[in-house]
């Protein structure tokens, strides 16, 4: 199996919920969004020029677990600075670390570089706690990859909440960190 996340590998299994499946699901929910196609991006740094071309708040996602193996999907604005030690206090947990690629696939059905809030559609057992950055949720438009990192969709935060509710996930909206003025 190809271990370089920056290349495509035809041997990888198909996503449990494809990007097109997600868009069809959003359409059925009556959620309006703008779809943008672009080159694959794997990091916030790589996506800066892509984000600059899309109206809305560029966002990132952290798939984390604590020492008790509780899993979190933390969704925040790119400019929200956060460190894991501080986040432990906000989430009332200890020893946060990033979830492995295998765990990401097993629980959210996406690959590294494509983590997004929409991936909870694959968490049918509700094992992931969704945390949303309050700063991000105060924006007019938020932007995320729809399961794959060569597309971005822009939608209203209340429509993200509608989607999460339809998947049986009630997110916690928390003040996660400070906005980093230099990354805006």
Q: Quick one: tokens of 164?
A: 């999460």
Asked whether residue 72 carries a pLDDT value surpassing 80, the answer given is yes
Q: Is the pTM of this model over 0.95?
A: no
**Of the candidates 64, 59, 60, which has an alpha carbon nearest to the alpha carbon of residue 141?**
59
**Cα 95 from Cα 105, distance rounded (Å):** 22
Q: CA torsion 72→146→31→124, rounded to 10°?
A: -40
**Cα 15 from Cα 150, distance rounded (Å):** 14
Q: Quick one: tokens of 71?
A: 């899993």
Q: Quick one: tokens of 158?
A: 């209340």
Asked whether residue 184 carries a pLDDT value surpassing 80, the answer given is no
Backbone angles phi, psi at 158, to 5 degrees: -65, -25
**Cα 91 from Cα 96, distance rounded (Å):** 10
Q: What is the pLDDT of residues 54-64, one digit of tens each?
A: 899 999 999 99
Task: Let me know the angle formed at the C-alpha of 148 by 91 and 99, rounded to the nearest 5 degrees.
Answer: 35
pLDDT band at 52 (very low <50, low <70, confident <90, very high): confident
Q: CA torsion 174→64→81→166, rounded to 10°?
A: -40
**Cα 6 from Cα 153, distance rounded (Å):** 21
Q: What is the pLDDT of residues 125-149, one digit of tens each?
A: 999 999 999 999 999 999 999 999 9
Q: What would you measure as the largest C-alpha separation in the chain, in angstroms?
A: 41
Asked whether residue 2 carries a pLDDT value surpassing 70, the answer given is no
């Amino acid at each position: 199996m190809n271990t370089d996340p920056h290349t495509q590998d035809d041997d990888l299994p198909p996503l449990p919920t494809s990007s097109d499946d997600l868009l069809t699901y959003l359409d059925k929910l009556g959620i309006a969004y703008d779809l943008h196609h672009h080159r694959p991006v794997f990091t916030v740094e790589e996506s800066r020029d892509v984000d600059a071309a899309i109206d809305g708040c560029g966002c990132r996602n952290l798939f984390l677990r604590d020492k008790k193996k509780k899993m979190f999907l933390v969704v925040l604005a790119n400019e929200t600075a956060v460190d894991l030690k501080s986040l432990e206090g906000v989430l009332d947990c200890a020893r946060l670390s990033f979830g492995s690629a295998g765990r990401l696939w097993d629980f959210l059905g996406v690959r590294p570089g494509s983590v997004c809030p929409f991936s909870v559609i694959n968490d049918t057992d509700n094992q992931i706690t969704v945390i949303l950055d309050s700063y991000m949720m105060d924006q007019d438009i938020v932007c995320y990859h729809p399961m794959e990192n060569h597309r971005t969709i822009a939608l209203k935060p209340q429509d993200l909440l509608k989607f999460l509710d339809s998947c049986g996930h009630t997110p916690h909206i928390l003040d996660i960190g400070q906005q980093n003025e230099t990354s805006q």
